[in-house]
Chains A and B, each alone.
Chain A
Amino acid sequence: MLEREGALAFWLLVPTLALLTLFIAYPFVRGVWLSVTNTVVGEPGHFIGLHNFTKIFDDSIFRTAALNTFVYTGVTTVFKLALGLWLALLLNRHFRGKAWVRAFILLPFIIPTVLSTLAWKWMFDPTFSVFNWLFWKLSIINSRINWLGDPELAMASIMTVNVWRGVPFYAISLLAGLQTINPDLHEAAAIDGANRWQRFWHVTWPLLLPVTMVVVLFSIIQTFADFQLVYVLTGGGPANATHLFATYAYQIGVGTGLLSEGAAISLAMFPALLLVVVFQLWYIRRVENR
């Protein structure tokens, strides 16, 4: 019986395994292989060891892209968590039209990224920016702000859009977490004399932490490998100032046709993401075993 169950389990898993092999394992192995060859578009190439990796670590644009990726992920994650938590706490209260507001909050997350980013691109337009128009009308500025043409401002702009897009995901996930917390605990703490801040810090936060960890780690993985937003908004410019791993890998691999170098750049993300995943799995297991 056990044997038959095992066989059944195996056959039930086969479709998943096949899909994972086809769409995850094969591209990954192929990517690893490409990165140790000198393949360019249209030509198969041959094994050259770690030459591509030494080449990209010697590449100043790659180093900028690597630094940008960490800054982009770090800064946006902090803002997304803070704003998302704040929003979740607000949404967890009772007020009229709660369901509508909750639905609207999700809009930035629901709209296809490319479409919403195009709208942001217009708002940051060097000539016709609506922000510049508004600030100028309010007499805050007397010359145009070069949102996407200045390296620092361009980074700030892409991070702003990422935060705008990511906050709803945090808010709704954390709201779900908040709703699992038994109100009796708050009541008990209040009776014991805990003020609002103490109730949050000693009751809400510890109980929300497992959900928060999973949300943050999932978001880090997504943000670290972000592509669409930067590609549409700046294309990695001005002068490569806003490239991330993914956009630079695309420019080199697909744009310039240096497939093996592009693969090496993509794979450079892997160690950092692996660490995040290992930590995530370790943490989830720890919580499960409590």
Chain B
Amino acid sequence: MAQFDRRKFLQASGAGLAGILASHQAPVFAQQSTVHWLKWNDFVPASDELLRKTMLPEAMKALGMKINLETINGNDLQARITAAIQSGAGPDLIMAFNNFPHVYSSGVADVSDVAEAVAKAQGGYYRLCRANTSDGKKFLSVPWAIIGAEISYRKSWFEEVGYSKFPETWEQYHDAGKKLKAKGRPLGQTLGHTFGDAPTFSYPYLWSFGGKEVDEKGKVVLDSRQTLDSVKFMQSFWKDSFDEGGLAWDDTNNNRAFLSGTISATLNGASIYIETLRKPDQYQTEKGAPMKTDIQHAQLPKGPAGQFAFHLFQSHMLMGYSRNQKAAKEFMKWIHTPANYEKWFVSQKGYSTPPTQTWEKHKMWDEDPVMAPFKLAGRVGLTPGYAGPPNRKAAEVLTKYIITDMYAKAVQGMAPEAAVKWAHEEVGKVYAGA
């Protein structure tokens, strides 16, 4: 056996290290890029499983890189983004909700090449997707998916109170909710600080009465008769029709409440229905039938100014500090290739609506009529800050939950005029800041 003492080892390793340093290049085995991808914990867990077990191994093989997927609670994403940008280190790709890319615009890389190519090949992005991710000059993130927000409701319970067709106006919905609550089956809605279900309800509700945080020119116009009407209506609506525990709900509470049969309707993504499809024996109606047969989806009702929607929107930011930008872009291109994206999209069963228009024609939408309303989610959704642009200010108003809090304060007993005045001043401070 050859002698290999400490001296020889140091000589050999020293020579090797000198060689690496001289060539300014790492040895081949170390050159493989690693892309760290941070996203939310999907409300359809099967999709995260698909990514981990099937799609990412395929991507790693096809692209010759390593991909680390990390999933966290959606409410914690912003804290991670801030920490990553400030420290200049962290995941290469991070999921952002709604118009958040505008908040982090100086900390992200330009991904126009990837986004424009996807748009061109797949029938163009919906307006809300482009507005949330582009500053007009470049794309700040690559649109990923729209989580359609529709009301999930129990058909038979609404029929029992005289609504064989889902209420079309807020007055009708109030009436139905009042009758349902009297039977111990209230409507369920969060007015808490939570990223999805709170703003996707409070914003379109405000818009449907004609209220807006700013006008087209960016002037704060929240304190209006229309906003006041919406707040006044909400006070009695909440007391008469809703489960009042909703003030403390996060995005998961309404799912649990609906599945346990304590609420009759709630604005949500399709995750409730998808869960009942997955476990038909566990979730049943009081008559013993699978709950999935008693669920339908509907848009939020109309107000005096019309019918509106605000869907949770997701995109991926390529972080400015990332040393793997090239590899991360390659991966984004790969996963947005229709053949690959389709696998993920199908696993979502309609919970996610793709950001481009050609997917409306996908056969999956024809498989289950209950999911049909989600197909066109991208066409009708507006962006935060409406009627102004979804810029950094609008994102700040959204992340401070000012609009949601206006309603929460009113249902807690604050005078409607005072709640509107408070919210107007808070929005005013945000838009007045430099």
Contacts and interface: CB of A to CB of B under 8 A. Distances in A.
Nearest to A261: B433
A43 B106 contact: yes
Name which of B78, B85, B248 has the most chain A CB atoms within 10 A of its CB. Answer: B248
A236 interface: yes
Contacts of B422: 60
B248 A237 contact: yes
Contacts of A126: 243, 245-249, 253, 257
B354 interface: no
B189 to A, nearest CB: 12
Given A59-B429, A150-B247, A256-B78, 15 more contacts: A60-B422, A125-B253, A127-B245, A128-B260, A146-B245, A146-B247, A149-B247, A237-B193, A237-B408, A238-B408, A251-B400, A255-B79, A255-B399, A257-B399, A259-B86
Given A42-B85, A126-B246, A239 B107 contact: no
A85 to B, nearest CB: 33
B256 A240 contact: no
Interface in B265-297: none
A252 B320 CA distance: 23
A55 B434 CA distance: 13
Contact of B245 (A38, A58, A59, A149): A149
A146 B405 contact: no
Interface string B230-261: 00000000000001111111100100110010
Interface string A115-151: 0000000000111100000000000000010111111
Contacts of B192: 235, 237-238
A283 B320 CA distance: 52
Interface in B61-119: 75, 78-79, 81-83, 85-86, 103-107
A254 B78 contact: yes
B408 A239 contact: yes
B107 A41 contact: yes
B248 A41 contact: no
A60 B409 CA distance: 13
A83 B85 CA distance: 45
Interface string A241-264: 100000000111111111100000
Chain B interface SS verdict (over half)? helix
Contact of B256 (A128, A150, A259): A128
Contacts of A256: 78, 103, 396, 399-400
Q: Which 8 A-B pairs have the closest CB atoms?
A: A126-B245, A42-B107, A149-B247, A148-B248, A239-B408, A149-B248, A238-B247, A42-B106
29 contacts: A38-B434, A41-B82, A41-B85, A41-B86, A41-B107, A42-B106, A42-B107, A60-B422, A126-B253, A127-B243, A128-B256, A146-B244, A148-B248, A154-B248, A236-B193, A237-B408, A238-B192, A238-B408, A239-B405, A239-B408, A240-B405, A253-B82, A254-B79, A254-B83, A255-B399, A256-B396, A256-B400, A257-B103, A257-B104
B111 to A, nearest CB: 16
A33 to B, nearest CB: 14
A41 B256 contact: no
B255 to A, nearest CB: 11
A234 interface: yes
Nearest to A48: B434
Interface string B188-232: 000111100000000000000000000000000000000000000
B340 interface: no
Interface in A213-252: 234-241, 250-252
Contact of A149 (B79, B193, B246, B434): B246
A42 B83 contact: no
Nearest to B247: A149
A222 B262 CA distance: 39
A149 B412 CA distance: 9
B317 to A, nearest CB: 11
Name which of B82, B103, B412, B434 has the most chain A CB atoms within 10 A of its CB. Answer: B82
Given A41-B85, A239-B412, A255 B245 contact: no
Interface string B400-434: 10001100110010000000001000100100001
B288 to A, nearest CB: 22
Nearest to A157: B248
Interface string B292-328: 0000000000000000000000000000100000000
Given A254-B82, A257-B82, A234 B248 contact: yes
A60 to B, nearest CB: 7
B47 to A, nearest CB: 25
A207 to B, nearest CB: 45
Nearest to A39: B86
Interface string A158-176: 0000000000000000000
Interface string A58-76: 1110000000000000000
Contacts of A253: 82
B248 A146 contact: yes
A5 to B, nearest CB: 40
A27 to B, nearest CB: 13
Nearest to A234: B248
Interface in B108-167: none
B106 A239 contact: no
Contacts of A251: 400
Contacts of B246: 126, 149
Name which of A42, A235, A240, A253 has the most chain B CB atoms within 10 A of its CB. Answer: A42
A87 to B, nearest CB: 31
A146 B191 CA distance: 13
Contacts of B194: 235
Interface string A25-55: 0000000000000100111000000000001
B156 to A, nearest CB: 21
B176 to A, nearest CB: 21
A254 B107 CA distance: 14
A210 B408 CA distance: 46
Contacts of B429: 55, 58-59
